[in-house]
Amino acid sequence: MIPGNARHLPFRSSIASVAVTSPPYLEQRRYGPSADEIGSGVHLEQYVADLVAVAAEIRRVLRPNGSLWLNIGDKANGSGGAGGDWTGPGGPGRYVDPAYPVGTFLDVPGAVLRGLLADGWRLRLPIVWDKGREAPEDLRHVRRPRWSHEMIYLLAPGPDRIRFYPSALTETGSVWHFPPGGSGPAHLAPFPDELARRAILATTLPGDLVLDPFAGSGTVDRVARSLGRRAIGTDLYPPERTP
């Protein structure tokens, strides 16, 4: 893993077969002191613009027949703080985007997807990740069903047919079932080993190069190498900085 900013990936063009990643979610937590953290201190419009810029770098590093697997979560406007929709250590205070009503989910995944489509990406499939457990929310407070899924988008960088190996799929439909968390080093937002495994097996062959521009504790790198692939990635903070 190379320390760095995902907006400017320090890699040659057209070398990676696939990118598998999950960016920091919008105003969910801080990972360290850097002002370059994506998703921190911004509203939805800037968050989308930042991820579209990162995706442009991903597209440069990808081969024309490569693909991007993007896992991203939503945000409720007005969430955070005591009794809010978000719970857990390291989170910011109450989040309010003045462009939207308080009490509405912002559809962050959809907004990012629309930004990517406008920039030339092609959606091959939206996948619903059923996490198998509900968020620990008080139904009397939130007054809605509990949150229990996230989105995974399979995207093509352009008009070329992406490489795809259906025999490697564990589940062949558009809803995937596996729990969150991983088996690697502890991290504030662990990327699931199973997500990385499925994405890598379905779109690469042994020896191919896998990219993760938000490498975190290095889950994608570790899983890729265990499957006989090569891997590259960047992160603002080296793994030892992510408790």
Q: Give the CA count within 13 Å in the CB-facing half-sphere of 67.
A: 20
Q: How many helices (H) and strands (E) does the chain have?
A: 5, 8
pLDDT, tens digit, 9 for 90 and up, residues 184-223: 554 445 789 999 999 999 999 999 999 999 999 899 999 9
Strands 149-156 and 122-130, bridge-based pairing: antiparallel
Reduced DSSP (H G I as helix, E B as strand, rest coil) percent helix, strand, coil of the chain, to 5: 25, 20, 55
| E-only strand ranges, the chain | 2-3, 16-21, 62-72, 122-130, 149-156, 175-177, 209-212, 230-235
Domain region containing 38: 2-241
CATH number of the domain that residue 201 is part of: 3.40.50.150
Q: Which residues, listed in sequence order, are joined to residue 212 by a DSSP beta bridge?
A: 233
pLDDT, tens digit, 9 for 90 and up, residues 34-63: 888 999 889 999 999 999 999 999 999 999
> What's the domain count of the chain?
1
pLDDT, tens digit, 9 for 90 and up, residues 117-175: 999 999 999 999 999 999 888 898 888 999 899 999 999 999 999 999 999 999 999 99
